[in-house]
A and B are shown apart, each in its own frame.
Chain A
């Protein structure tokens, strides 16, 4: 089995806020991330798919195809958007933390990748900065 990873970047804003909590508790738990006017990051998204190399093409999947899938399924919705206000899966109950962005991007990509035949989504990693990242491997 081969794992193949494609990297993409998107820029978005967000804030962390749990509606069920007081302002004091939100600020205590989330610190600066709780500022209601939000802040932003240049995110890096790494999408890893696993499969066998096709005997004819030598590809697990066509990288150009994977690039287009990432653009259509994730970047079109996330890039230059406010994640809390403009992206439907980030509701009051799904704060756009790096962890939840990794899970949400996985859900957006899983169907399209599984249709590619043979390959499956293996890992989604999201870098919020070069020092902070989260990943999801489809585990419940």
Chain B
């Protein structure tokens, strides 16, 4: 049978502030610019989930989209959507850059999906920049 990929895009709205505790106020300002503004700011992130697998002979599917939607809803959306990312335990010790958010979403989803199913997570912070992680 054929190995194929199924991709699904979800919108996640969240706020963050880029600020590294190990850097001084001046260094933070120099490194992160307006992303370091003290009260944070937000984005409509697009989270693109790519799963891999054999196309099932009976269903013609790599994954049932309704099941994938439920998993993403439970593991990712309920955790991160409409939150301030800086307050999530994952970002206590690391800056919630979109690089780190992409890795966090990948790790959370990898644990929630059957082994070997998750191929790639892409997070688009704006329409002009995006980040991908494949583990």
Contacts and interface: CB of A to CB of B under 8 A. Distances in A.
Interface of A: 16, 18, 20-21, 29-31, 93-100, 102-103, 130-137, 139-140
A99 B10 CA distance: 19
Contacts of A136: 2, 4-5
Nearest to A106: B2
Contacts, number: 62
B1 A97 contact: no
Interface string B5-36: 11111100000000000000000000000000
B93 interface: no
Nearest to B1: A140
Given A133-B7, A139-B2, A139-B3, A29 B55 contact: no
Contacts of B62: 99, 134
Nearest to A90: B60
Contacts of A134: 4-7, 62
9 contacts: A18-B58, A20-B58, A97-B60, A97-B61, A99-B61, A99-B62, A103-B4, A135-B5, A136-B2
7 A-B pairs with the lowest CB-CB distances in the bound complex, closest first: A95-B60, A97-B60, A139-B3, A131-B9, A133-B7, A135-B5, A100-B60
